[in-house]
A and B are shown apart, each in its own frame.
Chain A
Amino acid sequence: MGCFHSKHLRQIPGYEDPTILASETPFTVSEVEALYELFKKISSSIIDDGLIHKEEFQLALFRNRNRRNLFADRIFDLFDYKRNGVIEFGEFVRSLGVFHPNAPTADKVTFAFRLYDLRHTGYIEREELYEMVLALLNESDLALSDDVVEMIVDKTFSDADTKGDGRIDLDEWKEFVSKNPSLIKNMTLPYLKDITLAFPSFVLNTEVED
């Protein structure tokens, strides 16, 4: 029975061996198998092709396939590191690994930096920060005048851009996060520690034992 499932799974595009994924991430083999259950659920919600399309990601996040959101787009793009427009299983597990409570803080800090570096310049530019604050205001009930938004961005930049060159580089970002650790709070998902309870995997457990 295990062999049958094993052969079947290898034919799924983007499927990767849980033991390899577990060796490269903070997850155990059982947790990777549980993540596969979650992955299957999300990746079959609209198009059942074993890949997570952006609409499926939006549906899983917002319960609405058409809800666009700048930050969800950025997360999707970072998960899709092959940049082929879909999230494969290996990409899903490796990316979520950063959000594991036991993942190195340095990985979380770097991931957040890449997330906010909207134009992939290697810096968080003032314009990008302004754009992100506007995007946040757009999705919330918080109404702030343009002047106030400018002041918030200016104040944050004066605190974070210690070299004063009008942009935040990775070193400045690391220093800024070390002074404001709450900034990467959303880079940790406690759920990932209980993933085997939330998504028990019965089929794959017959294949591999921890």
Chain B
Amino acid sequence: ATPVTMNAFELISKSQGLNLSSLFEK
């Protein structure tokens, strides 16, 4: 996708701060 057709929410959902799976890493 070209940047202007990106969905802003799709973009921010990639934030590491929203990736809680790292809480489960030992």
Contacts and interface: CB of A to CB of B under 8 A. Distances in A.
B16 A139 contact: yes
Contact of B14 (A116, A136, A160, A198): A136
A152 B9 CA distance: 10
Contact of B4 (A72, A151, A189): A151
Q: How large is the interface on A (under 10, 10 to 19, 20 to 34, 35 or more residues)?
A: 35 or more
Interface residues of B, number: 23
Contacts, number: 99
Main secondary structure, interface of B, reads helix
Given A133-B11, A144-B3, A156-B7, A60 B23 contact: yes
Main secondary structure, interface of A, reads helix
Interface string A164-191: 0000000000001000101101100101
Contact of B12 (A42, A60, A71, A189): A71
Given A38-B23, A183-B9, A69 B15 contact: yes
Contacts of A116: 9, 12
Contacts of A191: 21, 24
A35 to B, nearest CB: 10
11 contacts: A42-B23, A70-B17, A71-B15, A71-B18, A96-B20, A115-B18, A132-B8, A135-B15, A151-B4, A155-B6, A180-B9
Interface of A: 38, 42, 60-63, 69-75, 96, 99, 115-116, 129, 132-133, 135-136, 139-140, 144, 148, 151-153, 155-156, 159-160, 176, 180, 182-183, 185-186, 189, 191, 195, 198
